[in-house]
Every structure is written in C-alpha cells, then in structure tokens.
Amino acid sequence: MLRYYLNRLLVGAAMLVALSLLVFVLLRLAPGDPIDAYINPNVAMSQEDMAAVRSRLGLDQPLPVQYAAWLASAARGDLGFSLQRNGDTVLGLIGERIGPTLLLMGAGLAIAIVIGIATGILGAVRRNSPTDVGLSIAAFFGISSPAFLTALVGLYVFSVLLRWAPSGGMLTPGAPFSVTDLLRHLILPALLLSIGHAALIMRYMRASLLEVLNQDYVRTARAKGVKEFWVIVKHALRNALLPVVTLIGSTIGIAVGGAIFLESVFNWPGMGLLLVNAVSTRDYPVIMGATLVVGACVIVVNILTDVAYAAVDPRIKVG
C-alpha cells in the first residue's frame, strides 16, 4: 500500500508540472507583451530601459529557460513577487487567501454531502413516490443550473429583495469579529455553492442504493425479519457509499471553479478573487503560483479519496 501511495504522489507531482507548464504556455500565448505588466504605463521609458528591465526579469531568455527558472524557484518554495501589490510575495498572498476559500468550499461541500446523501436515501427508499419525483425534478434543475446563474439569482433574491443575507464580503466592515457575523456572510454563498453538488450526489446516492437494495444479501436480511431501517443502515448504506465517495473526491476540482465565480460575485476574499484580479491585471507570478497551489490541493484530495475507499469498503485492496 505504501508503494501505491508513493506512486500516486509521483504521478501527482508530474501532473503539477504539466499543469504549470500549460498555464505558462497559455500566459505567453495571450495577446500583448509580458513586459507591459512590469512597467508603469504613466512613465515614459526608452527602448534601452525596457530592454534592461526585460533582461533583469529574465524575459530576454528563451521560454524553456524562463520556465525552468520559475520551476526551480517554485521547488524551493519561492513563487516570486506580485507585480501589482507593492512587491508582496505570492506565497504570502496565497497564505492570506487560502483560508477563506477552504472555509467556503468546506462549508459548501459539507452542506452538499449531507443534503445529497439524505435526499438520495429518501428517494431510493420511496422510489417512484411523489417525494422521489419531486426530489428528482429538484436535482435536475440543480444539475442544470450553471454556477454564474445560481450565484446571481441567489444574490438578487436573498440579498437584494428579501435582505436575508449580506450581499458580499466575509465580515461586516468596521465591526468587531464575531462568529455570528462570519456565519451570516458565509451561509448564502455556501448554500449556493452546494446546490449543484448536492443534486449530483443525490442522484448517485439514489442509483447506488437502489442497486444495492436489489442484492441477495439485502433480501436475505429482510427475510430474517431485520427492520427496514437497519437493513438500510447496516447492510445497504455502506456498500452504496463507494461510488458516492468517488464522486465527492472528483467534485473538488469542480467546486474550485464554482468557488472562483462565487467569490467574484460575493467579493469573498479568497483564492478565486485573487486569481480573477491577477488575470485582469496580468499579474503572472500570482496566476502561476495560485494555479499551482490549487492544483496541488485537488491532487491531494484525490489521493485522500483513494485512502477513503478502503475505509468505506474493506474489500478493496491496493498495491
């Protein structure tokens, strides 16, 4: 098993390198000269001055040399400095923003898991009933609704019209910190983030549980007089959870995309808002560093998902 996880770590490292190379190439293919992001447009500069800046930053080197230099620095934990934030380190900016993003994603996924599993079980137990049909229709709309539409509609309805939740930010400006204030700002974006994931988990949970409930050992448990509640909890649920665990692990990457848009809509001070601002200002070091950290988090979660397989189903062996 140790060899398996070491192999997964090596594959994950290779994927990170491939991801960083892809982002590097795409940034260089973007219209315009990278040097434009490094100079003040209000200050006139001669061609000699621009050439000196280009040489100092290593932009006069071939692209493979530039990428190799950045990768070597990243391997040492040095992601460079932001171009638009008075020379703040990229690692420092990420350290400030990753906490709010993890909070938002963690809350959204936790809500999605609880609601998705509960409604999936309910739909399977009451198959083809009005409850099951209603949940299936709700799941259809939840899966079909894009993140930007859900965020904008939710913001307009619950913040602008009903005024049930703040319209943006993580805390009330000027107010002392309190958990209550944080939860007031967190609940709406977390719920909106959870909608699509909860709907998907519900569909997988329902289908998986229905398949398990038709197995011979479940019918045997019922024939022995085991109550339906314990048939589901002790015999069916654990075996039905395996594809749901797989789904939850794979939705982390999708949740990153949803969180990026939600952070932009709700002005949530996380990695998504940092990335959006970096792209709009062509802050290349921040884009590269933030993408690398987000990719590393997704890969680690996928590895942890593999670890969870064995806990959910002891029949699984890896080697």
Q: How does residue 33 score in pLDDT terms, banded at 50, 70 and 90?
A: low
* Predicted local confidence at residue 282, as pLDDT: 79
Is the separation of the CB atoms in 248 and 116 below 8 Å? Answer: no
- 17-56 residues labelled b (16+ CB within 10 A) or e (exposed): bebbeebbeebeeeeeebeebbeeeeeeeeeeebeeebee
Is the confidence at residue 115, as pLDDT, over 90? yes
Tokens describing residue 267? 């002005």
Neighbour count for residue 303 (Cβ, 10 Å)? 15
Q: Which pTM value belongs to this model?
A: 0.80
116 band by pLDDT with thresholds 50, 70 and 90: very high
Q: What six digits make up the tokens of 234? A: 């002790």
pLDDT, tens digit (0-9, with 9 covering 90-100), for 215-231: 888 888 888 888 878 88
Q: How far apart are CA 278 and CA 110, in angstroms?
A: 29
Confidence band, pLDDT 50/70/90 cuts, at residue 27: confident
Write down the number of H helices and E strands in the chain.
Answer: 12, 0
State residue 152 phi and psi, 5-degree precision. -70, -45
| 8 A C-beta contact, residue 185 and residue 171 | yes
Average pLDDT score over residue span 169-198: 88
pLDDT by residue (tens digit) across 238-256?
A: 778 878 877 877 777 677 7
Q: Return the CATH number of the domain spanning residue range 90-312.
A: 1.10.3720.10
**The pLDDT value given to residue 37:** 65
- The dihedral over CA atoms of 32, 38, 40, 45, expressed in degrees to the nearest 10, equals -80
> Where along the chain do its domains lie?
90-312
